[in-house]
Amino acid sequence: MSVEVVVLLCCDYHMHTFRCGDASGTYEEYVAKALEQGLKEIGFSGHSPQYFLPKDMRRRESAIPEEELELYVREVETLREKYEGSIVIRLGLEVDFVPGHDKELEKLVFSYPWDYLLLSVHYLNDWPFDHPKYIARYSEWDINELFATYYQVLRRGIETGFFDAVAHLDLPKKFGFRPTREIPELEEVLTSCVKYGVAVELNTAGWRRPAQEAYPSLSILQRARDFGLSVCVGSDAHRPEEVGRYFKEAEEFLRKAGFTSVIRFVQRKKIPVLLEGNPLCE
Ligand SMILES: [Zn+2]
Ligand SMILES: [Zn+2]
């Protein structure tokens, strides 16, 4: 007997493809999975070129090379036309933020007609702290200090005014390391989100990591709600089969946190969609 899967969250805004180096699968495979999952709208969010590294240190296996960015944009736009009428496809970019490179960042932001830009901090100085290969370096840190430093960098990213949403907001918990006290810098991040009109992403990938919990945690999501922030949802799929994964859990998470709507992105504008009676899902 087949069971009908009802998916109320219909937009997945965090997806990578082979073009990103660290993900696999063609665009078409991601779209096919999204259609199978009943999604009505998706956004590709390729990893930005590593503008913050000297050219000879940029790695093909972790980001879209600068010389392929235009190709990426064209690929997504072609796909959008091809699937018009069956699924809406948005053009996004997951931008690594590293302080001190605002000129390069600005060029990236204004060179293409993005629907949205996700702000991500994956690096603390030269340490890609979410990469399993460098997990040993957590031992060099006091974990509370690590979170505080991470949130300070994140806040600086928000305050550039270049971004639409913060991706995986509490990413340093990825391998299970968690703060043991309140981190005041988190409040500053949320305050900056309010000031700069930046949304928070509910990223379901945390449920498939050692952290075993979405990014951000329920308590942070509740605080984001208290701050009046809006929320978008993404699976951070690096393989086609991960598209829309844990979206039922995400919906429950959002409701527990008190959210009644999520947002869609259209040409850098946020459009709220009610969770209940979501017209995208009818
Ligand atoms: Zn990321
Ligand atoms: Zn990602």
d(CA 157, CA 185) in angstroms, rounded, equals 13
Which CATH number fits the domain that encloses residue 98? 3.20.20.140
Among all bound ligands, the one having the nearest atom to the CA of 174 is: 1
The distance of Cα 261 from the centroid of its chain, to the nearest Å, equals 18
Domain count, the chain: 1
Among all bound ligands, the one having the nearest atom to the CA of 20 is: 2
Within a domain: residue 5?
Answer: no
138: left (phi over 0), alpha (psi -120 to 50) or beta: alpha
Distance 225 CA to ligand 1 centre (A): 22
d(CA 274, CA 128) in angstroms, rounded, equals 36
Please write the tens of the pLDDT for every residue from 24-74: 999 999 999 999 999 999 999 999 999 988 888 888 777 999 999 999 999
Within a domain: residue 240?
Answer: yes
Please write the tens of the pLDDT for every residue from 170-229: 999 999 999 999 999 999 999 999 999 999 999 999 999 999 999 999 999 999 999 999
Other CB atoms closer than 10 Å to residue 261's CB: what's the count?
Answer: 14
Distance 222 CA to ligand 2 centre (A): 23
Contacts of 58 (CB under 8 A, 6+ apart): 49, 50, 65, 66
Distance 208 CA to ligand 1 centre (A): 14
Within a domain: residue 29?
Answer: yes
Among all bound ligands, the one having the nearest atom to the CA of 169 is: 1
Within a domain: residue 173?
Answer: yes
Residue type, 239: R
Among all bound ligands, the one having the nearest atom to the CA of 16 is: 2
The pLDDT score that the predictor gives to residue 98 is 96
DSSP-based three-state secondary structure for 38 = coil
DSSP-based three-state secondary structure for 210 = coil
Distance 203 CA to ligand 1 centre (A): 9
Within a domain: residue 104?
Answer: yes
* Cβ proximity of 209 and 174 under 8 Å: yes
d(CA 81, CA 89) in angstroms, rounded, equals 9
d(CA 91, CA 42) in angstroms, rounded, equals 9
Within a domain: residue 6?
Answer: no
Within a domain: residue 143?
Answer: yes
d(CA 232, CA 122) in angstroms, rounded, equals 19
Distance 236 CA to ligand 2 centre (A): 5
Distance 184 CA to ligand 1 centre (A): 23
Residue 5 pLDDT level (bands cut at 50, 70, 90): very low
Share of the chain above pLDDT 90, in %: 88
Average pLDDT of span 95-124: 96
Residue 72 is part of which domain span? 11-281
Residues linked to residue 38 through DSSP beta bridges, in sequence order? none
Within a domain: residue 4?
Answer: no
Distance 173 CA to ligand 1 centre (A): 13
Distance 17 CA to ligand 2 centre (A): 10
Distance 139 CA to ligand 2 centre (A): 25
